[in-house]
Structure 1
Amino acid sequence: MKFIYHKGNYGLWDQLLAVEWIYENAHLFGGDRDRIVLAGHSAGAGNVMLIPASHYSRGMIRRVISQSGTGLAPWSINNNPMKLLERFSEDICCKRPNDNEMLKCIYKLLEKSDRDIYQLHISLNIADDNPYPVIDNDFINDTIENILQSDIYKNIDFLTGVTLHEGLYFAEYHIKNFYSEYPNSSNLINQSTSSKKCPNIYSNLTTIKSSKETPTIKKTSLHNKQDGIMNFERRTDIEQTSSNDLNEYLENFAKLNYIEEYIDANFQHGKCFIDEVKKKYELPARRNTTYRLKLFIDLVSDLMFNFHMVRCLNLLSKVSNRNSSSYAYIYSHRPTSKVHSGYRDQLKLLPQAIGHFAELDYIFGVPLARNYSRIHRNVNMNYYNYTSDEENFSRQLIRYWSNFIKTGDPNKGSSSIGKSVVEWKSYTKKEHNYLNFDLNSIQNTVNYFDEMYKFWLHCFHIESTGVCQKNTIKIYLILFIILLIFLLFLLMIYLLWKYFQKKKPRDVFSRRSPTALLPYPNHVSA
């Protein structure tokens, strides 16, 4: 940002303070300050990669566990923070021509308000203008991609992975709020910002109210429209919708050009490869609505999570003389816990879908809660009716994670933890290994995301260069046609010339030989 005294990244600074405290005091609690491990999920997965990326970390971090996200994900870094500031200032009527005046207005409101006046911005764009960390040339002084290729991550062990359908809940939200023509949907696509009303800020500033509407900061109904800005509370409306309504949402979704909408929202040159995207994520489903939904979830998962995870692993695998290892997993067991999901639980269209958060209960040992009386008071066991197989499954995940935390190798740990049942092979430049976690089958798989990665790597290359292959082929084709026409024209002129050559008499340019001139007679006059 252009304001020297407002660089951002305050959340990262706070987290760094916690790391520094641990580093300085670990020995007082029997800890080893040389084995500090940062672990995070989703947005936290991005943060735990950004902290060691800062030169202020000074090598304090030894290992990173980044689940369901990485520092390369488009939602990990806000590359245009001024857009966020301008949108936020407009939301609360602090839009000013002068940036400093705009900031003063915002600060004044924040000082007088007793509540959070920020509204989460959700749209089809993956990298929305929300308050993500920024490259401030201080805490973070380069792109994460460049940092990963430097020596900063040379000595940091890395564990990362995704669930089988990471984009499940995000895809559900998009279908409900952006892709539906159902009468009761919010249908925020293509709304004009001019229709938005700037709220009036009352003197007590405990609420922000629209000029003629009810307060905007509250649990809003699904019928309300806010120009693409929606509160998270609307998820309740999804869960309360009947199965018949949801079926109608999905039927309308299948009729729309949802692939074009999603690609246009996230790529400037998306039209260059839209046909290839549809061929991969839409056409195989034909008229099967369930399969269409699954492919759309795959599309959202690949762009939000999977591609960037593989990109991160590949960059780390190419760092020369790296003294650490990387491990990757795919989680494919659907949890027993009754997590609400408008489509998965009510329609049962995708009973085996494994979305965001699916692995967390098992890694933290929730299935083992029945054996600990103290946990009973905090856990409703009716919602966590795990089987004995799931309890053993949870123990195995805990073993892998604990081993990695202790040694940097998920296969080796202390004698009390023991060795893992299946060897988790590291992800290297030559071998793209993943450990697939399924309830009854934990096994290694190779090159699982390679095809997807190559596909999107090509698309992102087109996006970054602005060179559209379709346009290039079209230009070459037009030039070829013009050249062909010109050659045909020359050939036609030549053939006409030859034709007229044959039509003319052979002597057209010759003259008849004159008869021999006879000498004049000598006339002798008598």
Structure 2
Amino acid sequence: MMLVLVVLFGVWLNSASAAKLGVVQTEGGQVEGKSHRMGLFRTVDVFKGIPFADVPGKWEKPKPHPGWSGILKAIKYRDRCLQVTLLQTKTQGSEDCLYLNIFVPQGRKLSSNLPVMVYLFGGAFLLGASNDVAILGDSLYDGKEMAERGNVIIVTVNYRVGTLGFLSSGDARLPGNYGLWDQHAAISWVRRNIEAFGGNPDNITIFGQSAGAASVSFQMLSPYSKGLFRRAISQCGVALSPWALQNNPMALTKKVARRVGCWRTNIDLMITCLKMSDPVGLTMAGKIDVLLILGKGVVMDLLEFSPVVDGDFIPDEPSKLFHNAAQFDYLAGVNSMDGHFFAGVDVPNINQKNATTVAQVRGLLAGLTKEKGNAAIDSAYSTYTSHWGSAPEQAVVKKTVADIETDFLFLVPTQIALQLHANNSSGAHTYSYLFNMKTRIPGFPHWVEAEHAEDLQYVFGKPFATPLVYFPRHRDLSGYMIAYWTNFAKTGDPSKGDSRVPVPWPAFTKYHHPYLTINHKITKSSVSYDLRSDYVTYWTKTYSSLPTIKREEEEE
């Protein structure tokens, strides 16, 4: 009798298990992924390595993929785009890299008409991949938990980075922005094909972090995105961030040319030589010279590869393009210590026992404000030290250094972008947040809150996927973020959707600037107003009104 019951229970379990897509027909051919069990009657269908464009030509826009015959087994990630390694000592990846990955949640019935969230990775436009950094198991950007808990389709995409993605001569000869065109091609592919995977092509949200967040911002501002997606989320970066746009692309192109032996006084000959150069050599020529900077400037000056105003994909200065973003719902914010990592390179002793001096604080400000000269150093210094008193504690001084870099690189540009979005909006919503969960990185001083990129583990549900390395408070936070993010993708309002949230999140408007502070204890008092408004006012009004110093164009 017991045996019969066991067999019957097994048969019932099998017949009542979750649905699965099996083979899916896309424009290029048939693909088959793999089904992953997530719980009783819940699975996620995962498709890895679907091509969204052909192998790109060097410094050419992506072209449609020619397609394939038979069934493409989409069960493993493809190579990242050719790039330097984190330590800048060699290259990894391939030129054949324009692939995406899809995560589709399934219940007992096959999913249909689900909202779609397309993720753009960060990495300073220099490195990164759709399947980056495997921490204790799956990739950091593995979409299974977010897809299953939020009941949305997650798509992660590759795009070209570094020399091959963003080299530009500043004119039609090498216009640049190839990585942005790749992202655009991927989003367009998703719009054309996602219905076959159970997605709603009319409800696509793009989201990204750091350089990926700035990319999201550029995609919103580009005239090519009209009608392509509906909503966007920028986590710690916008097109207005000072590191997000190259202002002198030709200087960088000449530097790369020198390094690969292509330096010519005739620019056309130089570019012809570059086009004939080995891709690996070109990629290495774009590496960061870390030793050049230590003690000599600010880390931001190292981040050379980024998009350009090309008169095409980005037709004008980003601040003048927000009319193009008027129809997209927009959610953007920063981590409270986004600038801490960069500040720790610029002023290393903020993370050490020895004292941080007034001279070091002024030196940092000098590096960040060099286009405005000495007047800016004095005014910025008095703004940032007004709360110090006559004998500030070292923790206060050190935290101020981190705040300066956070404001300058991330927070203030994001607040300006939110304001411009709200000012230009035609019925679309705008939302602002500050993520300030205490850092989980060991060895940092007690005053360090949320470090750059620490939000990602919670958005992608790592505390659920690898529970042993997290505490219940981290699961609470992860649950909140997945709920807000996926509600926003469904409805354009992070408080409304299938997922319960701890408190309503009010919209940011032209005259009203609420923001939600995100951590593991979200209550009514987590909603505040006018985020760091004194500092936003300083950079947007006082600092920007100072005259810019004329400098000779530097060749190097």
TM-score normalised by length of structure 1: 0.66
The structure, 1 or 2, with the larger RCO (C-alpha pairs under 8 Å, 6+ apart) is 1
Cα distance between partner residues in 2 of 1:462 and 1:146: 18
1:349 corresponds to? 445
Cα drift, residue 64 of structure 1:
0.5
Cα distance between partner residues in 1 of 2:272 and 2:239: 32
Cα drift, residue 121 of structure 1:
5.1
Q: Does 1:134 align with 2:308?
A: yes
Higher helix share: 1
2:337 corresponds to? 165
Q: Does 1:102 align with 2:270?
A: yes
Judge conservation of contact 2:240–2:318 (CA < 8 Å) in 1. Answer: yes
Alignment counterpart, residue 541 of structure 2, candidates 458, 474, 483: 458
Matching residue's letter, 1:154: A
Higher strand share: 2
* Cα distance change on mapping 1:335 and 1:287 into 2, 3 Å: closer
Cα distance between partner residues in 1 of 2:185 and 2:418: 28
Cα distance between partner residues in 2 of 1:93 and 1:282: 48
Cα drift, residue 71 of structure 1:
1.3
Cα drift, residue 128 of structure 1:
4.9
Matches within 5 A, 1:79-98: 79-98=247-266
Cα drift, residue 283 of structure 1:
6.4
Cα distance between partner residues in 2 of 1:335 and 1:102: 47
1:387 corresponds to? 471
* Cα distance change on mapping 1:127 and 1:59 into 2, 3 Å: farther
2:229 corresponds to? 61
Cα drift, residue 119 of structure 1:
1.3
Q: Give deviations 1:339-386, integer Å, cap 9, x for gaps.
A: 3xxxxx43x533442211122111111111246xxxxxxxxx4xx2x2
2:459 corresponds to? 363
1:254 corresponds to? 357
* Cα distance change on mapping 1:458 and 1:121 into 2, 3 Å: farther
Matching residue's letter, 1:430: Y
* Cα distance change on mapping 1:400 and 1:255 into 2, 3 Å: closer
Cα drift, residue 110 of structure 1:
2.1
1:408 corresponds to? 492
Cα distance between partner residues in 1 of 2:242 and 2:178: 19
Matching residue's letter, 1:4: A
Q: Does 1:306 align with 2:383?
A: no
Q: Give deviations 1:64-119, integer Å, cap 9, x for gaps.
A: 01001111111111121112112222344433222123223433442584973321
Paired residue secondary structure (2:543): helix
Q: Does 1:429 align with 2:510?
A: yes
Matching residue's letter, 2:375: C
Matching residue's letter, 1:362: Y
Judge conservation of contact 1:159–1:328 (CA < 8 Å) in 2. Answer: yes
Paired residue secondary structure (1:38): strand
Cα distance between partner residues in 2 of 1:367 and 1:112: 38
Q: Does 1:323 align with 2:407?
A: no
Aligned residues: 372
Judge conservation of contact 1:273–1:459 (CA < 8 Å) in 2. Answer: no
Cα drift, residue 464 of structure 1:
5.5
Cα drift, residue 271 of structure 1:
1.7
Matching residue's letter, 2:275: Y
Matching residue's letter, 2:514: N
1:522 corresponds to? none
Judge conservation of contact 2:508–2:514 (CA < 8 Å) in 1. Answer: yes
1:445 corresponds to? 528
Matching residue's letter, 1:60: L
Cα distance between partner residues in 1 of 2:229 and 2:359: 47
Cα distance between partner residues in 2 of 1:370 and 1:299: 34
* Cα distance change on mapping 1:97 and 1:258 into 2, 3 Å: farther
* Cα distance change on mapping 1:403 and 1:28 into 2, 3 Å: same
Q: Which range moves more in the overlay, 82-91 or 28-37?
A: 82-91
1:37 corresponds to? 205
TM-score normalised by length of structure 2: 0.62
Judge conservation of contact 1:34–1:62 (CA < 8 Å) in 2. Answer: yes
Q: Does 1:396 align with 2:480?
A: yes
Q: Which range moves more in the overlay, 282-291 or 311-320?
A: 282-291
Q: Which range moves more in the overlay, 400-409 or 282-291?
A: 282-291
Cα drift, residue 335 of structure 1:
4.2
